[in-house]
Amino acid sequence: MNKSELIASVAERSGLTKKDSEKALAAIIDSIVEAVKEDDKVQLIGFGTFELRSRSERAGRDPRTNKPITIPACKVPAFKAGKGFKDAVSGR
């Protein structure tokens, strides 16, 4: 399912227009991104948690030259599925 299909599905289920559904989805995504960017957790009970995780510096290899390189520390967004989401997907 791509973004336009998701918008159509939300519009159908909610009774909103596609334009309003698109605005709502954009607002939700923007809010989640902004919160995670500020190192805040977004917990949607039954769905999952969006958060920022830190990766430490580590050793790696340059695939072109096969020489060792150091991969710098960074922060990455992460999503952990909640129990309700896991159960729905697994058919429990």
Report the SS3 class of residue 9.
Answer: helix
pLDDT > 90 fraction of the chain, expressed in percent and rounded? 97
Task: Identify the CA nearest to 37 among candidates 81, 79, 77.
Answer: 77
- CATH superfamily of domain region 40-92: IHF-like DNA-binding proteins (4.10.520.10)
Q: How many CA atoms lie within 13 A of 7 on its CB side?
A: 15
Per residue in 4-45, pLDDT (tens digit) is: 999 999 999 999 999 999 999 999 999 999 999 999 999 999
